[in-house]
Amino acid sequence: MAREGEAGSSVRDAIRTRVESIDAGNYRRSNEHLLSVFADWLERDRGVTELEDLSVTDCRRYAQWLRRRANDPDDDLSASSASADGPYFTVVRSFLEWCVRDERLDQNPAKPERVREALPEAHGTRDRQFWSRADREAILRFVDERAHESLEGDGPTRSTAFRDRALVYVLALSGVRGAEVFREPRDEHRPGLTWANVDADRGLLRVFGKSREYEWAQVPAPALERLQRHRHVLDPPSEDWPVFPTRHAPSLHAAARDGLRDRGWDDDEIAAALEDRGAEPLLREHDVAPPSISTSGARNLMRRLCEAADVDVDGEYLKPHGARRGLGNQLYAEGSAELAQEVLRHKSVETTHRAYRDERAVETRERVERVLDGED
């Protein structure tokens, strides 16, 4: 509830002022992103745009939304990030406490215990999927065969098969997060990887990392080769073209309509051109970049590919984030903790150790067995 006598204040105006008051770069960027997620959710799911309309119930529903996301195996949000001590909640609670200090609110609607109790436990309930080496080799073999078949006119179109193969190879071998290379609708700063951010000479991708800063991710030769072949087939008109463009027809039509309107076309002209030539040719002709495949679209694609390849992990398809975990797990298990840290771009090797503590326990057991057998 807004303070008595205080002029109305929108949630986004308050967020803007709060972010401007933060000096530290990384902390400021993190707050801006997490509060934007909160504001987007409030508008979309609750219809709330003004601080005076924000209630304890709204905050509890937000906590329940975080819990659902944390328990969704297809969502990358971890339980620790969504918990009472995680950034998605603590940043919002701190922001609303700041609103109280700045005399925009009488009380903090995120403070009551009934809000906190709706959040997930920090340890989470989701299984952490890892692509095993066998799973990885099986899906890579399948997309290679599928791309080859497309050259003979069998199966999907060549452009789709080559895009899908490059996508799976990049996931499997680079250690990137899905949201770093695919469009994340919940984050305006993640529109998807473009060709401008592919350094083929050095085998690197420039991605917007979890740190909210741009980082370099490695792309080993097998993935880089498929990526380059995909580029040759795609023949993007400009460097702004997404590396993994969507094939979702409504999204392509919407991009064509918006892009042509910006170029002065009226709706009748656009409708006639779409009917006559189709969305993709129009996008190319006028150099209007299509949207990148989204994170959910990439998950759906992996589900379809796994079903076609008869590849699964305990009845589940190979999820994009499982590729990153699987690669890190293999590097770590082979005694390369520092290399795993570099590939996964963890800030410290301690983070890598925590991520693969199961492998550390296995290594410890094996060392104990060697000692007991008199080998060490």
Q: What is the pLDDT of residue 3?
A: 52
Query: Domains in the chain and their CATH numbers?
Result: 11-116 (1.10.150), 133-248+291-309 (1.10.443.10)
C-alpha 346/C-alpha 154 separation (Å) is 42
- Overall pTM surpassing 0.75 (yes/no): no
Q: What is the pLDDT of residue 254?
A: 93
- For 80-105, the three-class secondary structure string (H helix, E strand, C coil) is HHHCCCCHHHHHHHHHHHHHHHCCCC
Q: What is the pLDDT of residue 124?
A: 46
User: Which of 194, 262, 198, 191 minimizes the C-alpha distance to 224?
Assistant: 198
Condensed to tens digits (0 to 9), the pLDDT of residues 288-333 reads 999 999 999 999 999 999 999 999 887 889 999 899 988 988 888 7
Q: Contact, 214 vs 189, CB < 8 A?
A: no
Residue 32: both structure tokens together: 């801006």
Q: What are the residues whose beta carbons fall under 8 Å from the beta carbon of 373, sequence distance 6 or more?
A: none
Condensed to tens digits (0 to 9), the pLDDT of residues 160-175 reads 999 999 999 999 999 9
C-alpha 142/C-alpha 148 separation (Å) is 10
Percent of the chain's residues with pLDDT above 90: 64
Partners of 214 in the beta sheet?
A: 208
Q: Contact, 309 vs 138, CB < 8 A?
A: yes
C-alpha 187/C-alpha 172 separation (Å) is 24
What single-letter amino acid sits at 275?
E
